[in-house]
Chains A and B, each alone.
Chain A
């Protein structure tokens, strides 16, 4: 199979003299701000996608925006690629060091600069942890809405780079919907402020463009996020189904009824059983699928809407509908969902998490097709997902110690992503393309679109030094990848209706 690490398919840079690079960088960084010894760099050789590893040329640890500017200017002068990194929790290899790069670690810029409760905003440095923002806002009755499952550890700078989502984005939006302003430093050291404290800005919406750009355009050095008033009431309902199709239909029916839950999650049998054994959440283990539906707002409304959701689930054929009795049980229900990934460790040594998005109405078809692909490739798949926004997280179970299983898992994962594209969806809903899904980009976009992405990148970074080989595949890579996937002129998934 195609080696994802075949760097000859990615942009190449002329070799540089490491001694010169280190000398120039140490002149602009504090004494402990540059790591060049291999032992010291080991911790940075991968992000949350640990299967992909590589060592950088060096690691820079700036303490403020001036140092970021200085590091970028040195790298720009010397033609050294730069990979920015936040907390390193990303799941797509976006912070994987490129060969010969300087890894720009922003974790030391972790100060909450200020909270303005009247304006409902927080000004933060990029290394601030996602959850730390909500913790700091809580005394004012406010919170920061996007809540990726890594929120305890992940940084807001990384959230901006990935346009991170989470369990509650159906109602509260993604990172891009919750930003007010940002300062960026371009590769040549120029600093720009995008967005403002007003709701719009003159010119193009460059803040939206920066969000989710995976470190390819510029480096973010300060962010103003929007805060929301914390809801007074939150309640969760669990619905069990004997048939996963019915669960999928219930999801579309809830949204179709005009209800926007704060969270709407689904787990299939394999996932809910593993989660139940792992966290004892109280899930019905004989169910084929469960839905968790969270509603928040005022007391009366939450109660009234929950009754409507319960009715919709029963009409869809739910075998059981349960309200969390109290806050303790609500937490338990969610603990099971949040612990679903680690719970996989009980049933398989390794798992590979996929992140495709599909239109909600295709959910039943896609689940059946994933089941078919799972049998075809001989690897079990557990399904856990943000059903409300059609964001799937199929977990492919494998054993890395069995020869060939990693390759099998990658091939199955690729097939699932291409299925998502064929159904009118996308190859990534929230984890980003990074290194991991770079080949599948060729399935989602045409060469004209990919050339446009590179032209947009060149408008910010003409030499292509920022995070090369990530997020946007070279046309050479797509030519190589496409050749592999068009077999005898057949399209994938010819037996399914297209969108």
Chain B
């Protein structure tokens, strides 16, 4: 039988539904709060806090199914520990910015760690959610099985929606086996050379699981079966590298990721963006740039959009400052109509992503 740790007392779906019903009736905005470890991410929400941390517990975990279902208020560290006990993990390597961090917050923020280009993001791992819509109806979207094409994939929309579409009650996530072996190597090369190395390696069937440049050195990680990892490590060469590098990168503890005002640029990994105006670190095989910079927002956004990417003011935005790259008129209008489909009274985290959404 699957592992389950839920208790009736920790089922707060009725309380949450009542709060949503009341808020919708009065058109009173709610600020949905999990562990609040990512309160800095997105625009400020002027609403009553709706605490979901009490709604917690593992609903079902069966290692041979490669899926875990847990209530949204479950601490992510508890989930990762349980998975590790069974030799499994969350493939997207969520950043954990504090022990209070919850599953719901991880899904709503949609942030993923260094494994993202190789193992997919949050949206790739989510199999289903139960979400309260603005009418306080608990909708079960998706399910617990990997292959499921019945109904629209509304559950994937929840990944990265910053809680603007509903209150997540529980989430089913596909998990991955932990690799039998993992090795990190580092190289004393500049970014131009690092980019060439990464591009070359990624054209071959190597078990890469990390590729980052911290401004001084290139770091590579390979994960997989013993033989493949040993062969790949021998082939790519380089120097030994502390495995703590990847954990510190994932949890945003490396400079410049600790900067009070921090940009995150997401770009095509083969695009060339040089002359960055500040201190940087490149992750995701070059597809994600962390940038500490006092340059004008327009300048930084232009660097990303010029190559088909976008820039997010990850932390430290002024209260009236845009955080995410603005959407075109047509896209923003579609976003508003979709939000209204879930949240007609506009009570869920209004403005956290964009003004008027």
Name the residue of chain A whose CB is nearest to the CB of B111: A200
Name the residue of chain A whose CB is nearest to the CB of B308: A197
Chain A 181-215, CB within 8 Å of chain B: the 1/0 string? 00000000010100011111111111011011100
B117 at the binding interface (Cβ < 8 Å): yes
Query: B143 and A425: CB pair below 8 A?
Result: yes
B356 at the binding interface (Cβ < 8 Å): no
Complex Cα distance, B243 from A366, in Å, reads 44
Name the residue of chain B whose CB is nearest to the CB of A214: B149
In chain B, residues 146-185, which have Cβ atoms closer than 8 Å to a Cβ of chain A? 146-154, 156-157, 159-161, 165, 176-178, 180
Complex Cα distance, B340 from A213, in Å, reads 19
**Residues of A close to B338: CB separation below 8 A:** 204, 456, 459
Complex Cα distance, B154 from A452, in Å, reads 9
Q: Among B120, B147, B161, B331, which residue has its beta carbon within 8 angstroms of that of A389?
A: B147
**Residues of A close to B327: CB separation below 8 A:** 202-203
Query: A430 and B149: CB pair below 8 A?
Result: yes
In chain B, residues 319-348, which have Cβ atoms closer than 8 Å to a Cβ of chain A? 324-328, 330-332, 334-335, 337-338, 340-342
Query: A203 and B324: CB pair below 8 A?
Result: yes
Nearest CB in chain A: distance from B351 CB, A: 14
**Residues of B close to A260: CB separation below 8 A:** 176-177
Query: B139 and A140: CB pair below 8 A?
Result: no
Q: Among B117, B120, B160, B227, which residue has its beta carbon within 8 angstroms of that of A173?
A: B120
Query: A386 and B337: CB pair below 8 A?
Result: no
Complex Cα distance, B177 from A452, in Å, reads 35
Complex Cα distance, B2 from A424, in Å, reads 13
In chain A, residues 138-179, which have Cβ atoms closer than 8 Å to a Cβ of chain B? 140-142, 162-163, 165, 169-170, 173-174, 176-177
**Residues of A close to B261: CB separation below 8 A:** none
Q: Among A199, A304, A361, A391, which residue has its beta carbon within 8 angstroms of that of B147?
A: A391
Complex Cα distance, B88 from A163, in Å, reads 26
Name the residue of chain A whose CB is nearest to the CB of B271: A197
Chain A 114-133, CB within 8 Å of chain B: the 1/0 string? 00111110000000000000
- Which of B10-18, B27-35, B201-209 has 4 or more CB atoms under 8 Å from chain A? B201-209
Nearest CB in chain A: distance from B183 CB, A: 14
Query: B227 and A300: CB pair below 8 A?
Result: yes
Query: B157 and A208: CB pair below 8 A?
Result: yes
**Residues of B close to A229: CB separation below 8 A:** 202-206
B199 at the binding interface (Cβ < 8 Å): yes
Query: A170 and B146: CB pair below 8 A?
Result: yes
Nearest CB in chain A: distance from B187 CB, A: 20
Q: How large is the interface on B (under 10, 10 to 19, 20 to 34, 35 or more residues)?
A: 35 or more
**Residues of B close to A444: CB separation below 8 A:** 150-151
Q: Among B64, B116, B143, B231, which residue has its beta carbon within 8 angstroms of that of A300?
A: B231
Known: A118-B270, A430-B149. A204 touches B161 (CB 8 A): yes
Nearest CB in chain A: distance from B195 CB, A: 10
Q: Among A209, A230, A471, which residue has its beta carbon within 8 angstroms of that of B153?
A: A209
B24 at the binding interface (Cβ < 8 Å): no
Chain A 451-477, CB within 8 Å of chain B: the 1/0 string? 011011111100000000001100000
Known: A204-B335, A359-B145. A198 touches B267 (CB 8 A): yes
Complex Cα distance, B153 from A357, in Å, reads 16
Query: B341 and A452: CB pair below 8 A?
Result: yes
- Which of A17-25, A69-77, A251-259, A267-275 has 4 or more CB atoms under 8 Å from chain B? A251-259
Query: B177 and A258: CB pair below 8 A?
Result: yes
Query: A173 and B124: CB pair below 8 A?
Result: yes
**Residues of A close to B231: CB separation below 8 A:** 298, 300
In chain B, residues 95-153, which have Cβ atoms closer than 8 Å to a Cβ of chain A? 110, 116-117, 120-121, 123-124, 133, 135, 137, 139-141, 143-153
A360 at the binding interface (Cβ < 8 Å): yes
**Residues of A close to B146: CB separation below 8 A:** 169-170, 174, 357, 389-390
Query: A453 and B312: CB pair below 8 A?
Result: no
Q: Helix, strand, loop or mixed for chain A's interface?
A: loop
Name the residue of chain A whose CB is nearest to the CB of B195: A118
Known: A177-B120, A361-B65. A208 touches B153 (CB 8 A): yes
Complex Cα distance, B152 from A163, in Å, reads 10
Complex Cα distance, B227 from A379, in Å, reads 49
B288 at the binding interface (Cβ < 8 Å): yes
A238 at the binding interface (Cβ < 8 Å): no
B352 at the binding interface (Cβ < 8 Å): no
**Residues of B close to A199: CB separation below 8 A:** 116-117, 121, 266, 269, 284, 287-288
Query: A252 and B64: CB pair below 8 A?
Result: yes
B291 at the binding interface (Cβ < 8 Å): no
Chain A 427-455, CB within 8 Å of chain B: the 1/0 string? 11111110001000100111011001101
**Can you pick out 13 interface pairs between chain A and chain B where the beta carbons lie within 8 Å of each other?**
A119-B269, A174-B147, A202-B310, A228-B205, A297-B207, A300-B227, A300-B231, A304-B226, A424-B143, A448-B139, A449-B139, A455-B341, A471-B151
- Known interface pairs A141-B203, A196-B268; 13 further A-B residue pairs with C-beta atoms within 8 A, sorted by A's residue number: A173-B124, A197-B308, A198-B308, A202-B310, A203-B327, A206-B334, A208-B157, A256-B64, A357-B146, A360-B65, A390-B147, A426-B147, A452-B133
Interface residues of B (CB under 8 A from A): 60, 62-67, 87-88, 110, 116-117, 120-121, 123-124, 133, 135, 137, 139-141, 143-154, 156-157, 159-161, 165, 176-178, 180, 199, 202-207, 224-228, 231, 266-271, 284, 287-288, 308-310, 312, 324-328, 330-332, 334-335, 337-338, 340-342, 353-354
